[in-house]
Every structure is written in structure tokens, then in C-alpha cells.
Amino acid sequence: MSLIFTLWLLLGLGHAFRQERVHGPTTFNVPINVTESGYRTVAISLGTPPREFNLWLDTGSDPETCSTLIISGVPSLGLPAQPTYLPGVPGRHSGTPLGTAGMVHNDVATIATANASTGVSTRVLRAAFSTWAWLGFPSHREPVHASLLESLFHPEILEAHEFAIYAGQGLSPNNGVIQFGGHSTEYNSTDVTYFNIQRYTGDNDAIIYWTTYIDRVDFILNTNGKTYIEDIYSSIGMNYTFIKEGGRPLCEDLRKLDFNMTLILPEGSIAVRPSDLIVPGYTEEQYCWPMFEPSSSGRWVVGMRLIRNFYTVWDLGGSDIRSDEVQPQLGFAELKAEYHP
């Protein structure tokens, strides 16, 4: 069973950027907010004059993507560019697996903290994609322009080629933090356990995933996709047929469950508690999303529902993240009791 580390973390904007510019190398913390839709967001600006954007942290995406009307404050069709705007390769078009396409250009992106800000030149795909921007690892299809991730994790900007996430408690305002250029010991009660990640590309070489392998899952019995899904639910006292036919589990019932689940990986293990799998809002707030669902993909996608229960450290393995020589790692640590969601 492979573990696809495609993290979909939605990030967005909060305020104007009037802080002093950071002169690196450094490390800085960016506070996380929670939108009305439940997405976790941080602050970013793009272009001159700066415009507000939602930033989507997606380790499998292509270049940054945003609205044609907002890059450097000018539309894409023939109007003069602002000072920070640099045209890309003449006639250079690009697209994403989601069907968004447009011209690729360079511009300045800025991420701000409470006291300072850091700006980098980044590649941007100008397309009719509202105010979303993606923070993606590079693609083999786009060798010309540096992604925001590549530009940001430069040894002259950040102290270390890693970022750490405490996702917060889902409150408004949220108390989550993303730290760029390092990690802290404020939030975790245990040391960080690191797991080696390998780069994996799809058949068309269009999408890059970051993958590791789960040797086994200890959950009263070893599990394997849909083969044991009925047994899993039965072992924790639940009826999967009820859920499969449209039944909605009450969150109060799930909170009464008591079981242990451990993901066994080559470098160590990750313990998952019942409370880690409780996510309210399945049609209504009193109902929770099913804890387990069958899949024939053989993959476990690591997203916010899992990492919100841990302090995670994303080590890119080196500043040159395109290099095949680097060894990326993903680290998990237990949260202190006061920081649990």
C-alpha cells in the first residue's frame, strides 16, 4: 500500500504588506486562519501593486495559477506590465491536469509575518482561475521558470530547506502556524519521526507525487482496502452496511469508540487514535464523516484530516528540489495536549 503525500492545504490572504523586508537566510512563522468553508489560509500577495490571493499548497501541482485580470494589476491581453512583471517565453503556453491553461510569466510574490515580509520571483500561469494560486513542486513539463517553492527555499532566503505545520484547532481566529525554514518544539510532545519520501511521476510525466510505502497497518487485524472493510467496522462496533446505504454516523457514537491503529513504515510507525478520525459535518454538524472507506487505488492520501492531529515537518532534502540526489522526508510528532484539535 503506497502512501501518496499529496497535501492539499488551502492558503489565503489576510492583510496588506507594509512590513520590513526580510534579509535572509532566516526562518519565519506565518499564522493560519480558517475560512467560513473550513479551509486553512495564510497571507500572500502577488504583483505590484500587491493584490490579495488564496494560496493553495499542493505538492502535486504545476506552476502557480491565478486570475488573468490580477497579475501585476493588469489584464493578460496587451496592456503594459507593472515593474515586477516579467514576460515568459514568447508564445509559451501551459496547462494543468485540471484543465486550466494560459501564458506562463514571472512576477513577485510576498509572504508576510507579523513583523517582516519576504519576496521572491516566481512563475505564474495566468488563467481564468479566480483568486486561487498554487504553491506547487516543479514539473518536468516546465523547466524554464522557477516555482514559488523553489524560489522560496533558496539558501540565501531560508535557514533550512523545510517547513513545518501546526494546523491549529479549527477555531476562528485559528491558532495554527506554518514555519518556513525550520521547525520548533513548542507544539509537539515527542521527537519528530521522519519517513523517507520518493518522487513518483504519473504515466504522462505530468504530475509529481511524493510517495512512501506502508509495510502494514495494525488494526486488530491487518487491513487491505475493501477486502476487510466490513471486518474493520465490525471490530469497532459499527455497521458498514448502514453507512454504505446512506446512514450517517453520529459523532457522539464515534467518540465512544476505543481502538488502536498503527501505520507501520520502514523508518518507524504512526499511531492513529479514534479521535484523530472524527470529522464532523457529514451533511450536518452532529454527524461525522465515515472513518474508513474502501479504495482499490492502494493509496492513502495525506491531507488535512490526518495532519491536523500531528505536528508535521516537511523536509525537501535540499535547496535544489529538482535534483534526483536529494532525499525528501516527512516527519510526524505527537501534539501536546493543549494543542490537539
- Among the candidates 143, 160, 177, a domain finishes at 160
From 110, 106, 59, 101, select the one nearest 87 (Cα to Cα).
106
If residue 132 lies in a helix (H) or strand (E), which one and from where to where?
Answer: strand 132-136
If one compares 182 and 3, the residue with the highest pLDDT of the two is: 182
Residue 109 has pLDDT above 80, yes or no: no
> What pLDDT sits at residue 135?
52
Whole-number Å distance between alpha carbons of 214 and 263: 7
Indicate the range of 78-87, 168-177, 256-265 predicted with least confidence. Answer: 78-87
Whether 327 and 197 share a structural domain = yes
For residue 238, what are the domain limits?
193-339
3-state secondary structure of 152: helix
pLDDT of residue 228: 54
Domain final position from 160, 182, 217 = 160
Same domain membership, residue 130 and residue 78: yes
11 exposure class (CB count in 10 Å sphere: 0-12, 13-18, 19+): buried
Number of domains in the chain: 2
Residues 38 and 123 both lie in one domain: yes
Q: In CATH, what number is assigned to the domain containing residue 307?
A: 2.40.70.10
Domain membership flag for residue 227? yes
Same domain, 154 and 238: no
> Domain for residue 171, yes or no?
no
The residues near 18 (Cβ < 8 Å, ≥ 6 apart) are none
Q: Say if residue 115 is in the same domain as residue 36.
A: yes
pTM score, two decimals?
A: 0.69
Three cell numbers written together for 218: 495494525
- Per DSSP, helices labelled H in the chain are 148-152, 229-235, 240-244, 251-254, 304-307
> Is 4 a domain residue?
no
Instruction: Give the residue-averaged pLDDT of 259-266.
Output: 78
Task: Give residue 218's pLDDT band: very low, low, confident or very high (50, 70, 90).
Answer: low
